[in-house]
Structure 1
């Protein structure tokens, strides 16, 4: 496999993971495969993995996390500022992994490959060659 194909795969895989998780929060996955299944269940989980955050701020944290995942996913899909959004994705995933680790233990983090996903996002942020990215067309147009 070439580096370009690997980069494309990383972009699509990270974006798909974010979009799938977000879709689950809105109840768009069937119940038999769903982790949360609805927004209220996601809020309860957000509270569990963020016990140090006041309960009144949990909805805000959930909204910000979900918005970030959707925005990061869309930008990774189209290849807009890929290095930046890959790095931000890595930090978001690392924050999620650490929250899970300190609240529910390390096993869930490993079972859901959150550290692996964070590592993949950070690796993607270091790949400079453009391939099927909006940035390629923006750069050519401005040159």
Structure 2
């Protein structure tokens, strides 16, 4: 029996691949919604951008304060951009690699600043690995990428 080189792009795996794209995207957008105050207080980790900037400062204690503040806004920008790209399936490979790298940076920063349990509690390592798995796919089903493929 011959195995396909890339099982996740097999037609029977279109749903799992789409589910992975959407799960990554919704998870990242939920974090943005939290820092923008869109979740109720009881469901919120930060509740506003000021609290998120303080948390980012804690994770990036090794950076000057201006760079830490910049990283809070930059991470928010990418946590909006990459999920929207994943949902649409537009430049999916770039969005998946970007998501993986972003989540890896979070996981490493959380580990250094807070210890190993923090990124494990929030499944940041799993998210980074899942995004990396998505990034190495040869094609993306149910996506703009698939529609525009030549």
Category of TM-score, reference length = shorter chain: over 0.9
**Aligned match of 1:86:** 96
List per-residue Cα deviations over 1:23-76 (Å, max 9, x = no partner): 111000000000100011001100001110111222211110000110000000
> Of residues 103, 116, 140 in structure 1, which corresponds to 2:126?
116
Ranges in structure 1 where 5+ consecutive residues have no aligned partner = none
**Aligned match of 1:135:** 145
Which sits farther off after the overlay, 81-90 or 70-79? 81-90
**Aligned match of 2:3:** none
Q: 1:1-143 counterparts in 2 under 5 A?
A: 2-139=12-149, 143=150
TM-score, normalization: structure 2?
Answer: 0.89
TM-score, normalization: structure 1?
Answer: 0.94
Partners of 1:103 and 1:13 lie apart in 2 by 27
The question of whether the paired residues in 2 share the 8 Å contact of 1:7 and 1:127 is answered with no
Aligned length: 140
Partner secondary structure for residue 2 of structure 1: helix
Give the alignment's Cα RMSD to 1 decimal. Answer: 1.3
Partners of 1:89 and 1:6 lie apart in 2 by 18
Partners of 1:66 and 1:129 lie apart in 2 by 27
Ranges in structure 2 where 5+ consecutive residues have no aligned partner = 1-10
